[in-house]
């Protein structure tokens, strides 16, 4: 097979699977723009400027709530990453792009047009439903008549899906993810301790010392601004403070998982109980979150070490394995035929 690439455009990170070397390139899905339309930086470099850039540089995330919010800059960044980091040979290549399920056909077409309308002359461009790619990337054979439940915890969204016989039996896209937990930490610290911190600091606290349970007994020193005096101050933050900030958000996610479970047909529910819930996505790495879901649902949770990469690797299977190739479809067929 020639050159083939699986593209997962997540809110927080852009993941690109390269079939030729079986590797996933993972960069921050962030762009920095100067003079309104001139790309100044992208990826990890742009993310390092987030909340630090002057007014002349706008740092933004081109994917919002799972859909493309800034088409032109996303396309520019994507082709740049493929060219510079992946060293992709795009001419004559096969490209498969992951799309969330609960978005409109017009929003899906934007993902398709990202490559179909670019001057790269790809051999083919196809789309694949994200939950299906997720399951394939975890090594599951979704063609089997067995129910599989996948919970993908992203930055802006949480996608909860039940899959059987290669199709989606149930799927729900929640406008709630890791970013909302970061915002909750910022709000809690301001209200409880008069400490104003940035979203990047909140994210770092969540990932370093956060937990789905109280009592982790770890701490981290951060610098923020005292709301009362207006001056910068240093404060030691412990795990329980972060837990108090995010516990309501975690409860919202687990309630949604439980709600979907209540709708699963009995025969598929039996499969889910035996195989467990599959938890992926960047936000799934939160300490003891899998245990928390198990406590609420009484179902074991399978979590993958590289949960951010499962969608991109699943797209690789669509491109390389005959039994999964049918899960990649061309947009024109879906819309006009």
| Mean pLDDT along residues 26-55 | 92
Q: What is the pLDDT of residues 136-173, one digit of tens each?
A: 999 999 999 999 999 999 999 999 999 999 999 999 88
Q: What is the DSSP letter of 123?
A: S
Give strand ranges (E) for 43-157: 57-60, 63-64, 67-68, 94-99, 124-129, 148-153
Lookup result for tokens 């970061």: 182
Residue 306, pLDDT score: 86
266 phi, psi to nearest 5 deg: -55, -45
| Mean pLDDT along residues 115-137 | 91
One domain for residues 43 and 90: yes
- Name the pLDDT band for 246 (thresholds 50, 70, 90): very high
> Where is average pLDDT lowest: 120-124, 161-165, 186-190, 207-211?
120-124
One domain for residues 278 and 158: yes
Range of the domain at 261: 141-176+253-306
In this prediction the pTM is 0.92
One domain for residues 58 and 34: yes
Ramachandran assignment for 126, one of left (phi > 0), alpha (psi -120 to 50 degrees), beta (any other)? beta
- Output the DSSP codes for 230-245: --EEEEEEEHHHHHHH
Q: Above 70 in pLDDT, residue 337?
A: no
- Name the pLDDT band for 333 (thresholds 50, 70, 90): very low
One domain for residues 202 and 316: no
Assign residue 276 the CATH number of its domain. Answer: 3.30.420.40
Q: Above 90 in pLDDT, residue 122?
A: no
């Amino acid at each position: 097979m020639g050159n083939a690439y699986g593209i997962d455009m997540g809110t927080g990170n852009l993941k690109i699977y390269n079939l030729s070397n079986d590797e996933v390139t993972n960069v921050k899905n962030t762009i920095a723009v100067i003079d309104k339309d001139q790309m100044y930086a992208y990826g990890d470099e742009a993310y390092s400027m987030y909340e630090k850039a002057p007014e002349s540089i706008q740092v933004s995330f081109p994917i919002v709530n799972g859909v493309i919010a800034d088409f032109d800059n996303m396309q520019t960044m994507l082709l740049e990453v493929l060219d510079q980091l992946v060293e992709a040979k795009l001419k004559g290549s096969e490209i498969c792009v992951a799309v969330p399920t609960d978005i409109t056909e017009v929003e899906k077409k934007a993902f398709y047009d990202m490559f179909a309308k670019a001057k790269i002359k790809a051999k083919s461009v196809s789309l694949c439903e994200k939950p299906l790619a997720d399951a394939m990337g975890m090594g599951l054979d979704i063609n089997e008549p067995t129910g599989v439940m996948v919970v993908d915890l992203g930055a802006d969204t949480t996608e909860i899906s039940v899959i059987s016989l290669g199709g989606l039996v149930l799927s729900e896209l929640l406008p709630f993810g890791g970013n909302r937990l970061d915002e909750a930490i910022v709000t809690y610290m301001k209200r409880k301790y008069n400490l104003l911190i940035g979203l990047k600091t909140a994210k770092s606290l969540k990932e370093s010392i956060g937990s789905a349970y109280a009592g982790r007994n770890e701490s981290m020193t951060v610098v923020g601004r005292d709301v009362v005096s207006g001056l910068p101050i240093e404060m030691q933050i412990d795990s329980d403070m972060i837990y108090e900030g995010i516990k309501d958000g975690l409860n919202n996610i687990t309630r949604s998982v439980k709600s979907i479970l209540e709708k699963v047909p009995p025969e598929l529910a039996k499969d889910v109980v035996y195989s467990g819930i599959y938890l992926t996505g960047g936000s799934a790495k939160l300490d003891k979150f899998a245990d928390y879901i198990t406590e609420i649902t009484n179902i074991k949770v399978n979590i993958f070490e590289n949960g951010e990469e499962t969608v991109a690797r699943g797209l690789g299977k669509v491109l390389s394995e005959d039994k999964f190739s049918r899960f990649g479809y061309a947009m024109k067929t879906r819309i006009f035929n």
